[in-house]
Structure 1
């Protein structure tokens, strides 16, 4: 329409149809929305490509807009802020030590869990022969029930012991509290109506965790830790990392509720996890970040997949997503300014068709070059990561 009006207008004031037609063509050329068409896909293509190089996979196109609003990142402790490789640390028992470890390790031998593996490995190190396991029942978030050598054994939290009405010797809670203050996770084992002993296992904190929390703070994002451990254990880990807010004693199925609580407080939450139990929380969160080394269900539930378990990759994902979003806005802004300025110039005759074509090409090239700046994202910090 503008091009037609331009031709008609210049026919009225110019010397001929040819000149008016040329100016109409110039209007058509500069009005081409090439730069607008390239603004978003070019930034997304370059940004996601760079993300793949850095171990970050963006699964959805709208994730960049949503990440920009994130002000809180909730980390699942085990396997994310810590290595996830449990190690046996200590045990206390009122019965024969060999017999205690033999029964507990035999019960845990049927459990596919890092804690159980740590206990079994300790028994193997001590050359303790394991006994046949004839029954196993898992109590999510509490512990396990097993039958070994005609003995029904319960291994788990103090809550599980209380539910079985087991007698708890007075010394055990004191010993457990002392071990938990060092960051160890404590489990009790009981049979025949009495708690027979306790076992402490530990999970090493990833050396990058404190750096990740500090970098998120620099981006204006608060870190929250959620764990099924007791508050004493959680606080020990959180203080070492630099996290102020801790949600402890959270059962696997309750993590999504913790995310929802933060959202109801007006926060925009990203959740980082790797296990099957993290899937509901990953789905509930505004942004779900699944660690690639984790379960398939967690990866499927996440909006962003992190190729490695380094928590600094979380910072990379947030920062890169924000840069991509900013680049898209810059591209759209430049394309809008170009069209807003160029069309009036073409209408009043300041642009001939060749100049209009050059300006249109320059606009598209500018968008491409601005997007290509994302290739340099993170250069110089990869070795540090």
Structure 2
């Protein structure tokens, strides 16, 4: 009997081999394991429970196994659904973007909404999340409701379908809708304002045309489109905020303008209900239609400017989205065929011509290229690539032609992962935002209370007409307060900062990491792949006696390991045209090396700790030769066969050109830089001396790195850890800030909070500078928002009137309120121009 099982926890071919060998070791089992998809096809003589398989896998690693029947059935069902939909010749509704929206103030954290609208908490317009999918859609110029995934003819009129505009998004729709309403609001507000202001002109010319009461009716009629159409959404949001008790800016705007409008309507229809203080010389009540329309129009202007500014804050993501091409050139049977990038499959051969954008991740198989990777790494100098080198989606082939094989497609590509990470980080909350959130919770009720106190204070102690003064100033208090300036202060800076980091090759997982990086005072770094290039090469193999099979033994053993040093040995053997043979009982021992049985010989390759573990004897002559190599900065691996050390492999890994400068700059900023490496004392000392490190520790196993980080944290240090290997994953997770080299493994990247795409220590300097700039920007925004409200509300209440005779018109208050939140966004946008 044969069953399919899903395996989780595998990250490399070594894991796959270990899982497969473990399952096959169970009596009566024949298993074939694949890494992508992570499945095990198990044939067994008699039924064996999943628990027995799980117990065996748990003994060798953190792997889980479960029946994949339901999973495969779901996949098949989904494929059937998609196929059925593709075969239906129906008119598809327009679907802009990816249908996911978020609140720019992150009122409910990282929550996403399925459709456009306003936030149920703060009432602000939801912003569309940048879509990772870049699928080209085609529409009919005569029938825009026709949407197709590929070019063809319109099923209604037969016209050729044309590509839809990439800029046709919900964000643009929101902006255009607000702009249209703005034009209507201005068209009706200007005459209302002109009528109200005519009384200030000599002899009041309008009164010669009609009586004051008649002009009041004209103002009323002109106000209706502003209140009940152009700006009606503000009252809807205000009502929602009250019944849900999520009080916000629109609560204040709705109450203030609503009271002014209703007061004016009642005053116009029933003037005798009001005392003489509210009446003019002609006996009519002072109406506030002009205040209502002007305030609402100015608030609408603020919303319009915010909509435009919001689209700029996510500009970095949109620029990343533009990097992905819509088409690719497939090489099939020696001929070129243009296809959509969504039709690319793993293993496809793709031709790249000069100037082409690379559509997916893969490796060059024929030819060579000069790749502009600046959009991913932030580095402007093109990188030369040859056969076997990896290329990433979104980068540009400069001036040569080559053929590549597709290895990662869709959401697996580096570009898609970057966009996803930036999207998620942009929606996360920084700890510093808790202060603003706490204040915002009580802000609106306090402002309403202050407004009531303002009215009562003016009514009792103010000069005549005291009630009019009290009414106007109470409305001004409601209108000028701006809780959204507080709410936007942090998320806007985070969004722009995260985008800036992404365009510079610094990927930030969340806002907390961005904030905490500014506090880091200790940086822990690994050696191989972090300080060094991570491209080790075998310099020589030394043998104590003639053993022609020594290279074949260690290369065969290393073919199952994912470690860079292992890859170097395998590559060296291939260059020497040494064939690799089967290895039994392979095991990778973290931080020490690898062991296995090759041609019935027990072979061990690793450091001195591994030699002790396998009880291998090391001659004095061999040890002295090894020390000489280590003092030259070389990494040396002992080779033991059947318990006797028969030689060593000397491997060199050049220090990155930028490592020394980056370390010096970090130390100048007050950061202590410590190297923890699994390499030996002599090699570690040589590297540490060359780089002038603060300190170093050699011979570190993964648990040693973990203990050292915990020790430093116990001393009150804020620790960042930079690494690139699976062995570094526990330390990366324990550190206050884990920094993964993008050239490293997926496990390290997943464990880290910050990823450096280029895998360069200079990226840590960029990340530290970015963190400092973002935190400074957030504090500026919070300061402005606090000061604006602390000063604005008392001034609107009339606190300056007894001393300077100054009162703040509600219309001026509305203008100030609208520009307060816009100014916060504009200040955040300055982060786009900082130099990292």
State TM-score, norm by structure 1. Answer: 0.92
Computing the radius of gyration from Cα coordinates, the structure with the larger value is 2
Match for residue 184 of structure 1 among 634, 647, 650: 634
Q: Secondary structure at the match of 1:183?
A: coil
Q: Which residue of 1 aligns with 2:775?
A: 325
- Shift in CA distance, 147/72, structure 1 to aligned 2, threshold 3 Å: same
Task: Tell me, yes or no, if structure 1 residue 366 matches structure 2 residue 823.
Answer: yes
Match for residue 282 of structure 1 among 732, 735, 754: 732
Give matches, 1:270-349, under 5 Å: 270-348=720-798, 349=801
- Shift in CA distance, 33/89, structure 1 to aligned 2, threshold 3 Å: same
Q: CA deviation at 1:179?
A: 0.5
- Shift in CA distance, 297/340, structure 1 to aligned 2, threshold 3 Å: same
Alpha-carbon separation, structure 1, partners of 2:745 and 2:575: 29
Q: CA deviation at 1:37?
A: 2.0
- Shift in CA distance, 97/301, structure 1 to aligned 2, threshold 3 Å: same
Q: CA deviation at 1:85?
A: 1.4
Alpha-carbon separation, structure 1, partners of 2:813 and 2:749: 48
Match for residue 250 of structure 1 among 700, 706, 709: 700
- Shift in CA distance, 61/127, structure 1 to aligned 2, threshold 3 Å: closer
Give matches, 1:219-258, under 5 Å: 219-258=669-708
Task: Tell me, yes or no, if structure 1 residue 133 matches structure 2 residue 133.
Answer: no
Deviations 1:328-368 (A, max 9, x none): 11111111111122222222253111222222233323322
Alpha-carbon separation, structure 2, partners of 1:56 and 1:89: 33
Between stretches 161-170 and 84-93, larger displacement belongs to: 161-170
Q: Secondary structure at the match of 1:77?
A: coil
Task: Tell me, yes or no, if structure 1 residue 354 matches structure 2 residue 354.
Answer: no
Q: CA deviation at 1:175?
A: 0.9
Give matches, 1:9-158, under 5 Å: 9-12=457-460, 13-16=462-465, 17-96=467-546, 98-158=548-608
- Shift in CA distance, 268/167, structure 1 to aligned 2, threshold 3 Å: same
Alpha-carbon separation, structure 1, partners of 2:517 and 2:574: 47
Deviations 1:202-245 (A, max 9, x none): 21211111121122123221111111001111121222223121
Structure of higher RCO (CA pairs closer than 8 Å, 6+ residues apart): 1
Match for residue 211 of structure 1 among 656, 661, 669: 661
Kept after mapping to 1: 8 A contact 2:713/2:719? yes
Alpha-carbon separation, structure 2, partners of 1:10 and 1:161: 89
Task: Tell me, yes or no, if structure 1 residue 2 matches structure 2 residue 450.
Answer: yes
- Shift in CA distance, 203/286, structure 1 to aligned 2, threshold 3 Å: same
Kept after mapping to 1: 8 A contact 2:749/2:755? yes
What RMSD in Å do the two structures reach over aligned CA positions? 2.0
Alpha-carbon separation, structure 2, partners of 1:129 and 1:277: 29
Q: Secondary structure at the match of 1:136?
A: strand
Alpha-carbon separation, structure 2, partners of 1:57 and 1:130: 39
Between stretches 198-207 and 4-13, larger displacement belongs to: 4-13
Q: Which residue of 1 aligns with 2:709?
A: 259
Kept after mapping to 2: 8 A contact 1:135/1:148? no
Q: Secondary structure at the match of 1:62?
A: helix
Q: CA deviation at 1:25?
A: 1.1
Q: CA deviation at 1:97?
A: 5.4
Q: Which residue of 2 aligns with 1:269?
A: 719
Alpha-carbon separation, structure 2, partners of 1:33 and 1:164: 67
Q: CA deviation at 1:72?
A: 0.8
- Shift in CA distance, 39/137, structure 1 to aligned 2, threshold 3 Å: closer
Q: Which residue of 1 aligns with 2:124?
A: none
Q: Secondary structure at the match of 1:82?
A: coil
Q: Which residue of 1 aligns with 2:334?
A: none
State TM-score, norm by structure 2. Answer: 0.44
Kept after mapping to 1: 8 A contact 2:660/2:691? yes
Q: Secondary structure at the match of 1:84?
A: coil
Alpha-carbon separation, structure 1, partners of 2:519 and 2:464: 57
Alpha-carbon separation, structure 2, partners of 1:184 and 1:67: 33
Alpha-carbon separation, structure 2, partners of 1:359 and 1:109: 68
List alignment gaps of at least 5 residues for structure 2: 1-448, 802-806
Q: Which residue of 2 aligns with 1:377?
A: 834
List alignment gaps of at least 5 residues for structure 1: none
Q: Secondary structure at the match of 1:145?
A: strand
Kept after mapping to 2: 8 A contact 1:104/1:155? yes
Between stretches 357-366 and 183-192, larger displacement belongs to: 357-366
Alpha-carbon separation, structure 2, partners of 1:108 and 1:38: 53
Between stretches 230-239 and 97-106, larger displacement belongs to: 97-106
Kept after mapping to 1: 8 A contact 2:721/2:732? yes
Q: CA deviation at 1:65?
A: 3.3
Kept after mapping to 2: 8 A contact 1:30/1:356? yes
